[in-house]
Amino acid sequence: MTEPGVVAVVKRDCPTCALIEPVLQDLVARGVVSTVHREDDDDGLEASWHLGIETVPTLIRGDERIVGWSRSQWEEFTGVSGLGDGLPDYQPGCGSRTAEPGLADELAVRFNGSTLRSRRVELAELEDEAEALFDRGWTDGLPVVAPTEARVLRMLSGTSRAPDEIVAVVPPDLVECTVEKVAVNAVMAGCRPEYLPVVLTAVEAACTETFNIHGLLATTYFSGPVVVVNGPIARAIGMNSGVNVLGQGNRANATIGRALQLVIRNVGGGRPGGVDRATLGNPGKYTFCYAEDEEGSPWEPLSVERGLAADASAVTLFAGEGPRGIVDQASRTPDSLARSFAGALRTVAHPKLPMAFDALVVVAPEHARVFREGGWSKSRLREELTALLTIDGGELVRGAGGCDEGIPEALGSASWPKFRPDGLLFVHAGGTAGMFSAIIGGWINGETGSQPVTQEVKG
């Protein structure tokens, strides 16, 4: 909202505004102040809200503003000398009405609510909000936060992107999803506004052909989207990368992953028993999101390894099942610990199925220390594991070892790596006590499955 000349914003019950009233009248008479907005009436309050006023009195000219009363500043700002004869040289202002507790959200709805395009749903006077959202099928089985206009507008303040910008076309129903629709579901998930850029990026990444969220939904396998966050934003919004990193208790971790799932459900129509045909699923399908511990890591962050700058904030999506533990409290050399990793990794999906499934290994600090002290880089660990997990086809064919699962007999004459060359990812995270790591097994990879996607987070 811009106006020519100098604009003043005041309110009646501000002592400083009352003090400088004669000064304002003089400046209006001189034609220096073109408009005076008074927060005591609706028009003035709306102008104050659009102008982003926090303190009154405020003088505004273009991008410049003066807050409170200071004779020297007012004279320099207006180009008029001798202002406020007999007044004190300086007096601070008061808080704007637009900043009053409880009023800011009401004003956002009153003056900006019309910008929202989502359908309004009226609830009956005696209808319970939480139960109403359950009844309409908009939850993941847990209670959600009612997405009121005020809450959605507050959520949208977390991004500079326009509410009507299309973020992605969301499977399975292939519905265009706007920033506003993502914000609605982020409110329902319990997100704070500053989480919204991460949620938007996760939605974009999930809906790429590479990640293939439609296929991931439709599979009868256990897996769902796993969100790994790197870069400054993870620290800025307080994400957990340490103790209990894959567990409960951190709002950002819990709600970002949940918001992604709610977008897929409520916008794209991906619901259990419909397109979602998982035989068993896993608890991570409520939410599975965490940050990498970059500061304590012996290696480059996952996002850097995957091509982004070290100072970039990023989201990596991986199609994963629930975590399984690796316990090795005895190994003190990387050679020994790598063999423990290899033994556990061979079990991903099935010990006799190579190349079909990726894996994401969460290496906790005590195991990472062993690799650091041994001088092993991430690429060295991957190379060693590839060698350890290249298995003679005779052990993998159907019927070998008395187990009918396995590869066709025709492939038994060759040796097969458990994972494709880029199918083994490593992330450093977790508490500093306990010689444990975790494997998050993947869904089938390649053109018929899913491949990890890393995308930079933007405001």
User: Domain-by-domain residue ranges, the chain?
Assistant: 6-100, 128-291, 318-453
Across the range 293-307, mean pLDDT stands at 97
Q: Considering only 68-77, 91-100, 109-118, which range has the smallest mean pLDDT? A: 109-118
**Spatial CA neighbour of 83 closest among 96, 66, 99:** 66
3-state class (DSSP) for residue 137? coil
Across the range 319-324, mean pLDDT stands at 97
pLDDT number for residue 400: 98
- Provide the pLDDT confidence category of residue 113 given band limits of 50, 70 and 90: confident
- Provide the pLDDT confidence category of residue 316 given band limits of 50, 70 and 90: very high
What is the residue-averaged pLDDT of the chain? Answer: 96
Question: What percentage of the chain reaches a pLDDT higher than 70?
Answer: 99
pLDDT digits (tens, 9 = 90+) for 12-59: 999 999 999 999 999 999 999 999 999 999 999 999 999 999 999 999
Q: Indicate if the pLDDT at residue 85 is higher than 60.
A: yes
- CB atoms inside a 10 Å sphere around CB 105: 15
Give the largest Cα separation in the chain, rounded: 101
pLDDT number for residue 313: 98
- CB atoms inside a 10 Å sphere around CB 124: 7
pLDDT number for residue 1: 40
Burial call 192-218: b when 16+ CB within 10 Å, e when fewer: bbbbbbbbbbbbbbbbeeebbbbbbbb
pLDDT number for residue 4: 59
Beta strands at 357-363 and 453-456: parallel, antiparallel or unpaired: unpaired
Across the range 309-337, mean pLDDT stands at 98
DSSP state string for 243-272: TTTTSS--HHHHHHHHHHHHHHHHTT---B
Q: Indicate if the pLDDT at residue 2 is higher than 50.
A: no
pLDDT digits (tens, 9 = 90+) for 340-392: 999 999 999 999 999 999 999 999 999 999 999 999 999 999 999 999 999 99
Q: What is the CATH number of domain 6-100?
A: 3.40.30
DSSP-assigned beta bridge partners for residue 392:
415
Residues whose CB falls within 8 Å of the CB of residue 179, separated by 6 or more in sequence, listed in order: 156, 159, 161, 162, 163, 164, 165, 167, 200
